[in-house]
Amino acid sequence: MINKEELLNDKEFYKSFKNGEDLTSFFKQMHKRAVEHMLNAELDAHLDHQ
């Protein structure tokens, strides 16, 4: 699993973005995928209980 604190302090991670717009786009994409994964997990849990 990824250590969030390490990622937040990883200068190489931030160097992978060209500008603020690039970083914002990445975070929007990450948010979208996180919500999709959470909804799928919730649906799987719900269907397992039936």
Give the pLDDT confidence of 2-49 residue by residue, as tens digits.
Answer: 899 999 999 999 999 999 999 999 999 999 999 999 999 999 998 887
d(CA 22, CA 3): 22
d(CA 27, CA 21): 10
pLDDT classification of 50: cutoffs 50, 70, 90: low
Using left for φ > 0, alpha for ψ between -120 and 50, and beta otherwise, residue 17 falls in beta
pLDDT of residue 49: 73
User: Is 23:17 a contact under the CB 8 Å cutoff?
Assistant: yes
* Phi and psi angles of residue 19, each rounded to the nearest 5 degrees, phi first: -160, 180
The model scores a pTM over 0.85: no
DSSP letter at 18 equals: S
